[in-house]
Each structure stands twice: as C-alpha cells, then as structure tokens.
Structure 1
C-alpha cells in the first residue's frame, strides 16, 4: 500500500515521503481500517517537526484522524463488523495518511450518517475539543457571548457552530476577508478581521461594555494577551493551543483582580481519565449533525499524493476550514 512517512524531522514538504509499504496486520484488540478520508490537523505539522507532545519512532506515518471502513479485525475483537463506516484517531506510528491504518477497536466510533466521508473525518478531534471546551470546561450558557479566535480555521470553525448550537452569541476573530466571509457563513454574529480592526474594542461595543463570557483560544500569543482585556466578570478563557507559536505567560494577579478563570483543555486526556465521556460527546455531536446544527467546513478534498503540501498549508495558516485527504 501507499503511505506517507517521515524519516527525519523537519518541515512537512521536506520530510514527508510517499512510500510503498506492507499492509499492516491488526493485533489483539485492533482493527484495520481502509482509509476513506483523513483530515489534516496542525499537530500533523508539529509531528513532522518533532515538536508534538507525542514523538513516534522514525519512520512514522502522520495523519491523526480519519474516517474509514473496517477491513479486518485482530484476535479478541468482536465488533464493529467488516464494512462498517467509522471514525477514529490514529494509533501512531501508523497514521491516517495511508491507504490502510490499524487502530484500537475500543476507540472507533460510528461515522454519522448525516456526514460524508470527508466531513466525518474532520468531525472527531475539532468538534470533540469544542464540545469539551465549551460545555465541560467553560459551561457555556444560552445568551452568553463567546469569543472564538481563528474562527475560520479547523478548530475555530467547530467552536463557532457549537457555540451557536448552544444558544450563545458568537464573535469570531479571523485574519483576512476570505476568512471573514467563512466565519459569517458559519453563523458568527459578529466577525472581526484582526488585520483591519481591534477585536477588543469590537467585543466591548458588541456586549455593551461587559466583555466576552467565554473566550475560546487555539492561538495563544497576542490573541490570548488581548483577550484578557475584553473578558467579562466571571468570564472563562479556554486555552486550546498555540498555533501562533507563542505560549502566553498569564498574569495571575490580573485574573484575580478581574475575577476570570483560565481553563486548560487537553482533550486527549479524556481517553485515559474519563473514556466514557468521549462516546457520550460523540452521540451529542451525531445528534447535532443530524439536525443540521453542525457540519465541518471542508475547503478542499485532495488526493493522497498532495498530503505533504496540505500539511504545510495548514501549518502556514493559509487555509480556511479543513483540508481532507481522500486515498
């Protein structure tokens, strides 16, 4: 089979190589998936660079989430049945940018019927992260104001849709007019192009001076620092990631004086700390997809041969919504 592999760390276009490798065999408790679609994520670039918290042995295949069809099961696996359409995170070093991938059977979830393969592949990580961040960590309530950074990106676009589904008023911050159009189409009540305006002033005006009740921040850096200037009394800042490349150093005296909370979110921890919560959230997301309340924004569906370029584009921050590779 064909699979992209990283033989040495570096920039995705430089180190990802399309190889011919044997089809993997599922071991005990595993299933082999025929990959139908693999979503591209920022962590894929970090894996290529050797900067992710997980560092698989070289060579490895990137691609951290997928929609696939169950092809074969290892010893001790009683389900799901071959031919079942499922979604799953990858089990590195054998990632999703390949024709087949082996994953733990316990971690696969049914692909929502309301979503096609590319949309289903892009659902798992971004929307689970959004669900846990907004509901479990921040306890977002109807009528509250949600500020979403990178609102037209993969993680941010999911948060915009989930915020609207929860009854919140959503302010989306983006970089550029094309991304502003995308965020508005996703349902954001107010969109601020950070290249053309000050989101702090915009949030204060939009809320009558109160500020944002919840800030959803996958960017870090200056986005986080300025968010502290427009977070509301008893507001919550959800720290999701640092795509800016800069990890903020919070001024805890400021959090004390303004009475707001800083909440960390590492979604992957739920798999070990509270694994039952993940399928429960998936059912909620499946129901929202069936109602049409959420649908991943897919900006491009690309052949497997273009995976390296797709990872590089996501790393450069030039994309809108999600890029999906379809082997």
Structure 2
C-alpha cells in the first residue's frame, strides 16, 4: 500500500493489515492496476480545497476484482472511480481497498487492466466534447489543441467519428508523431502560415481546446462566425483573458466542459470501452510496476509520456 505522510511529498510503500470486512454496502477490491493522474498530483500537493487526514492512500481510479461485499458483485471485475475514492477516503494505490458500491462499474474480464484503469476520464471527456457539448457534425472543420495527450487524442478520434474533418495543432514534431491517424491534418505551431491554413474556407467550425491559456484569443480570428470553442483543459494556463468586443463581433460560443455534473450513460461507457479493447479507438497507456509508483509520478510530472499512466500490482 502507498501512504502519503505530508503534503507536497512522495508516497511511501509499506505493508499494512488487510482491509476490515466491508459494512454499509461497501466492497473490498483486490486491485490489478491503478491510474496515476494529475488529480492525484493535486491531492498530494495539498492544493485541493478538501484535504483528507494524513497519512492517506491516494489513487482516484483503478481496476480489480470484488472479493467481499454485495454477493452479486463478488468475483466481478470492476472499474473503481468516484464517490470520494482517493480524495476523501483511501484510494486505489494499494493491493486492496474498500470502496462504496456507487464507485464501481463492471468491466469485461478480458479488458487490459492498465487500459481499463486509466481510460475513463479521457474516453468520456472526448465523447462529451465531440457529442453532447461540441455537437460536431459531418463535414465540419474541427481544430483540436493538445491532440497528442490522452484527452486530446480521444477528442481527435471522437470528432472524426462524428464526421468532422479534424485538424490537430501541436507544438513540436515529437507531438505530431503521437497524433492519432484519425486527424486529417497536423499543423506544428501557431505561425502565420498555419493560421492562414486554419482561416481557409472561412475558418474552423469548432475548437476542442485541451490546453487553455491564451488559446482562445489567439485562435479567435480563424473561427467561423457562429462557431464554438469547447473549453476542456488548462495545462497552458488557468486564466482566460479575452477582448469582449472581439468575442462579441466574432459571435463565438464558449462551452465549458464539466464532467462532474455530466452523467455518462452506462451504454456509452460500455460501448466506448469495447471499442478501446478491440482497437477501434486507441489510447496510449504506459505501465509501471506498483513498486515503481514514484517513477510513474515522475513520468507524469516530467511530461515526456503521451497518453495515460498506470501502475500494475
């Protein structure tokens, strides 16, 4: 099990007693793999508004088998996430953990553990960005920023699947190599030549922005009047400063993504996971041994790994 003893420090791996028998509808999960995410980093930094008591076991998502609790679920393979797991109550960075029934969804027995543990957030965010929020239609020109990342790569594939002509905007040739093949075009950098290409044919119909920062004001001139921007991430900056007359003149809608409030139907989740398992959709996942958890955290903070990161038990 991993234990965090102070905010802003690494976790310590140690042996502890097995979880107590479940009560009040809880389930005991024997974990196969756990996700390592930026939300976990936020918890470890102590920057989140709500902080659990220390020492604490982080880990906001994982996959494993139910070994005790609701009889109908015992023996079932499940995805664990939500319901405060890894934020308010002990998380998935452990060989075994106890979670509420509301934190699990059954997953197929043959799904790769690391993929199943890490896919939920990028997978359903990409789906929501292209479908219920972005409303991507056939033949629309769709610009995706940060398309080499986990969420961005799913946005590329989902927008293309909706019939959009996807243009991927990256910062470097290295990132360009990691963009899914579903992108119709890959542009490196926001130079004048690429801005002209984006502005061709009247501009782009929609932007799926996973990076934030100054992206919207910089791209506003190449978005069609009546176009829309789905605001998904903010790795390039948490503050959006925009000239209101320019935004009103452009008549562009800003659509914030909030996956906390959005309910993802079980059928959508199952269908997307099946597509990932079969290779129809692709998500790069890098796995580390659980004993190398701090190396996995280093890979996440270093930014050199495209896609998701997992530890396997």
Q: Which of 139, 143, 165 is equivalent to 1:169?
A: 165
Match of residue 144, structure 1, among 140, 145, 148: 140
Structure 2 counterpart of 1:308, from 259, 276, 294: 294
What is the CA distance between 1:129 and its match in structure 2? Answer: 1.4
Residue 18 (1) aligns with residue 16 (2): no
Equivalent runs, 1:1-327 vs 2, <5 Å: 3-10=1-8, 14-25=9-20, 26-52=22-48, 54-73=50-69, 77-80=70-73, 82-90=74-82, 91-92=85-86, 93-112=89-108, 115-183=111-179, 185-194=180-189, 198=191, 201-202=193-194, 204-206=196-198, 208-270=200-262, 274=263, 277-289=264-276, 292-298=279-285, 300-327=286-313
Once the two structures are TM-superposed, the CA of residue 127 in structure 1 deviates from its matched residue by 0.8
Distance in 2 separating the partners of 1:55 and 1:148: 34
Q: Confirm or deny: 8 A CA contact 1:115 1:295 kept in the other structure.
A: no
Kindly tell me: are residues 61 and 203 of structure 1, through their superposed partners in 2, closer, same or farther at Cα, counting changes over 3 Å? farther
- Structure 1 residues 9 and 28: alpha-carbon distance in aligned structure 2, compared to 1, 3 A threshold: same
TM-score (norm 1): 0.84
Select the structure of larger CA radius of gyration: 2
Cα gap change, 1:54 to 1:211, in 2 (>3 Å):
farther
Q: Distance in 2 between matches of 1:312 and 1:248?
A: 28
- Structure 1 position 260, deviation (Å): 1.0
Residue ranges of structure 1 left out of the alignment (5+ in a row): none
- Is 2:4–2:57's contact at 8 Å kept on the other side of the alignment? yes
Please give the alpha-carbon distance, in whole angstroms, between the structure 1 residues aligned to 2:75 and 2:124: 25
Deviations 1:229-264 (A, max 9, x none): 332222221112211243223444333211111111
Report the CA distance between 1:266 and its aligned residue.
Answer: 1.7
Q: Does structure 2 retain, via aligned residues, the 8 Å contact 1:237–1:263? A: yes
Shift of residue 112 of structure 1?
4.5
User: How big is each residue's C-alpha offset from its partner over 1:282-303, in whole Å with a ceiling of 9 and x where there is no partner?
Assistant: 13413533664313212x2110
- Relative contact order, CA 8 A, sep 6+: which one is greater? 1
- The Cα offsets for residues 208-233 of structure 1, whole Å up to 9 and x where unpaired, read as 24323222222211233323333222
CA RMSD of aligned residues (A): 2.4
Comparing 207-216 with 162-171, greater Cα deviation is found at 207-216
Q: Would the alpha carbon gap of residues 254 and 71 (structure 1) be closer, same or farther in structure 2, given more than 3 Å must change?
A: farther
- 1:35 counterpart SS class: strand
CA deviation string 1:184-213 (max 9, x = no partner): x4422222233xx53x75264156243232
**Uncovered stretches (5+) of structure 2, i.e. residues with no partner:** none
How high is the TM-score relative to the length of structure 2? Answer: 0.87
CA 114–189 in structure 1, closer or farther in 2 if over 3 Å, else same: farther
Q: Distance in 2 between matches of 1:222 and 1:173?
A: 14
CA distance in 2, matches of 1:114, 1:176: 36
